[in-house]
Amino acid sequence: MTGDYFATRTALVTGGARGIGRAIVRRLLAEGARVATCDVRERDLELLQAAAGDTPGRLACFTADVRDTEQVVAALDRIGWPVDILVNNAALAPRIPSLELSPAQFDLVLDVNVASAFRLARAMVERARGAELSIVNVASVNALTGQPEMAHYNASKAALLSLTRTLAVEWACLGVRVNAVCPGSTWTDAWEEGGWDAETKERLAAKNPLRRFARPEEIAGPVVFLAGPDATFVTGHGLVVDGGLTLAV
């Protein structure tokens, strides 16, 4: 029986204020988990907290930059919750042609998308002190493909996938599982802000065989699967959730 698995677990989700992260927070809450989430978007966190009225005491939102591991850990210590599940979801994805990409822009994306995820994962392993821990990194199909003008982002997601595999092997003896989800195009606030016209949106959606964008909930489900009781023998895996995009060559 795995029915009450999440009721005894606490998750930390980074970048949970909106988009896929928010869907992961909501799904974990629906499964009965306690969820802490950090983001740099204060207003969106307030909205998320306000909308979680039916889960009193089980959602803790706090403003923190994932690059500052100490700030995140200090906030968790103030809340007083242990962490059994870490979802590294926060990321930056600015579209910049490689010849215009400054070293600082490259470093920033690598820092937020992969180095911060590594530092936080290590901090959570140290904090768990021998207890079981499940880490899910939100990578991307861009870890496997070469979308132009996204060299920095693609490199960060490929590194995150590599990190997932190495840490899974290195930390298995500590009772830590490390997996990744590689989403394809998922319609979120970030896309909404892009102001795409209907024709472009349709063309982008048609790149995968299912011919549509994923909904954030369709990424949250696989993340929660990897974090949870049905995946206790799964580690080092990169689960591609892309509507068949990477097969449709």
Has 157 been annotated as catalytic? yes
Q: Which is nearer to ligand NAD, 183 or 228 (CB)?
A: 183
Q: Which residue has the tokens 């070293």?
A: 103
How far apart are CB 174 and ligand NAD at their closest, in Å?
25
Applying CB under 6 A, among 65, 71, 82, 162 the residue interacting with ligand NAD is 65
- SS3 category, 86: strand
61 CB contacts (<8 Å, ≥6 apart)? 16, 17, 36, 37, 38, 39, 45, 46, 48, 49
Residues from 18 through 57 that contact ligand NAD (CB under 6 A): 18-21, 38-41
- Residues in contact with ligand NAD, counted by CB under 6 A, come to a total of 28
Among residues 117, 105, 110, the alpha carbon closest in space to that of 15 is found at 117
Give the orientation angle of helix 69-79 with respect to helix 116-128, to 10 degrees. Answer: 40
Has 153 been annotated as catalytic? yes
How far apart are CB 64 and ligand NAD at their closest, in Å?
6
Has 207 been annotated as catalytic? no
Stretch that binds ligand NAD, among 11-19, 53-61, 75-83, 120-128 (CB under 6 A): 11-19
| Rounded Cα gap, residues 137 and 144, in angstroms | 15
Does the CA dihedral 44-153-179-20 come out positive or negative?
positive
Residues from 130 through 159 that contact ligand NAD (CB under 6 A): 138, 140
* CA angle (157, 226, 54) in 5-degree steps: 105
Closest-approach residue to ligand NAD (CB): 19
| 227 contacts 126 by C-beta, under 8 angstroms | no
User: Which of 116, 134, 156, 157 does the annotation list as catalytic?
Assistant: 157
Does the CA dihedral 148-151-156-159 come out positive or negative?
positive
Residues from 172 through 231 that contact ligand NAD (CB under 6 A): 183, 185-186, 188-190
Backbone angles phi, psi at 215, to 5 degrees: -90, 150
User: Which of 153, 162, 185, 207 does the annotation list as catalytic?
Assistant: 153
**Binding string to ligand NAD for residues 88 to 117, with x set by CB under 6 A, is what?**
-xxxxx------------------x-----
69 binds ligand NAD (CB under 6 A): no
Residues annotated as catalytic (active site), given as ranges: 140, 153, 157
Residues near ligand NAD (CB under 6 A) are 14-15, 17-21, 38-41, 65-67, 89-93, 112, 138, 140, 183, 185-186, 188-190
